[in-house]
Copies of this chain bind each other. A is one copy, B any other.
Amino acid sequence: MTTLQDCRTMDAQDPLRELRDLFALPEGVIYLDGNSLGVLPRATAQRVARTVTDEWGQGLIGSWNGAGWFDLPRRLGDRIAPLIGAQPGEVVATDSTSINLYKVLSAALHHAQAEAPGRRVVLSERDNFPTDLYIAQALCRDRGFELRLVDGAQVQSSLSTDVAVVMLTHVNYRSGAMHDLAAVTTAAHHAGALTIWDLAHSAGAVPVELAGAGADFAVGCGYKYLNGGPGAPAFAWVHPRHADRFEQPLAGWWGHAAPFEFTPHYRPAAGIARYLCGTQPILSMVALECGIDTVLAAQPLGGMAALRRKSLALTDLFIALVEERCAGHGLALVTPREHARRGSQVCLSRTDGAYGIVQALIARGVIGDFRAGSADGGTPDILRFGFTPLYTGFEEVWHAADHLQQVLQGGEWRRPEFNRRHAVT
């Protein structure tokens, strides 16, 4: 049995432990939902206040240049780049993940139409994050493509000659299962298809080597492991070999080669800048910058490789503790045990009660989240726990498992107050 003292020893030996001080964690909370909304960095409040009071309040319109607002999408993109295996100048922080997916999928379909007109299929995973599927459905319908959905394990064997684009989320939002980005990209290219990777649950959580894998397009989220705050702008990356070749249809002035010439005809900027569209929400952008900086703060301590080591140690520990302490309570591990296939979360399923268990844990200060299964029962209800190596400690994992055991043993999760449903994100 793993003891509390074992966990304290792991914390004491954790080379990343000091990074927790970068965050304003609430007292009495064990936060295992950083895969949904990252914790507030300590630097953010002051940075946002400065932008509101000084840059906007005093600098007014002059701050577009004077405070560098106009450059934020590219500057933040440059800071995200090393976290995803990209180079400066290849990434922009902008808009939402859904919108960026629309842009890159549209560009990929233009590519297919130009160079492989026989390929009319976008291949994705049946339980991809829904918004990805919705965006692809709309775009495929408008462009005369077919969205073909298969099980995650069947992606590579489904690479038929009619596939134009493989569009996947790297780490599944429900299960925490991770695709082999490099292997799928290689297989897709071998089959003549392009790849689009949604890094929503990857950027800042697991090492990603987009250029190393030779991937084509990627998008990702600013408010999960990048700690950018609620609804922080997302990001888009396009491999330089494609960046200048295709336009995306959200062709607004921020993506123009010379936006302040105010010419009536669109002339796309070179490179990734053409994936910008309209004016960006600056208050949310500066908060995103503080969030990215918390991940970059790990660079001198080993960077994404060190974060990954700790992430796996945290999820290994949680799995072990749950199996040691909650056996016989009907929990099943959904997240892959194999390291190479696991993101930075642990998901458990239970045939009933998952919602109440999550609510009972939240009442105890252990914040995870619930994801409903499919109505036909094909997919079970899920208890989802995200582990953020920047701020989650091993002792917290011990207490989280301990609370879970208590909630299950005492039947606490059956209480009515834990079973009134409302919308969750």
A87 within 8 A of B: no
A388 interface hit (Cβ, 8 Å): no
Q: Taking the full assembly, how many copies of this chain does it contain?
A: 2
Residues of B within 8 A of A266 (CB): 133-134, 137-138
Q: In the complex, what residues of B have CB within 8 A of residue A229's CB?
A: 52, 56, 282-283
| Residue among A60, A139, A263 with most chain B CB within 10 A | A60
Residue contact A138 to B251, C-beta cutoff 8 Å: yes
Q: Which of A188-196, A252-260, A319-327, A344-352 binds B? A: A252-260
Contact present for B52 and A252 (CB under 8 Å)? no
* Nearest CB in chain B to that of A47: its residue: B52
Contact B280–A231 (Cβ < 8 Å): yes
- Taken together as a complex, chains A and B put the C-alpha atoms of A373 and B109 apart, in Å, by 37
Interface size on A, residues (CB 8 A): 91
Query: A132–B64 Cα gap in the complex (Å)?
Result: 21
Contact in complex: A63, B230 (CB < 8 Å): yes
Known: A56-B230, A57-B26, A134-B266. A65 touches B283 (CB 8 A): no
Give the Cβ gap from A319 to chain B, nearest Cβ, in Å: 22
**Which residues of the partner chain B approach A134 to less than 8 Å between Cβ atoms?**
251-253, 256, 265-266
**Are A264 and B424 in contact, with the CB atoms below 8 A?**
no
Whether A60 and B31, one on each chain, are in contact in the complex, defined by CB atoms closer than 8 angstroms, is yes
In contact, B60 and A33 (Cβ under 8 angstroms): yes
Expressed in whole angstroms, the Cα–Cα distance for A230 and B149 within the complex equals 40
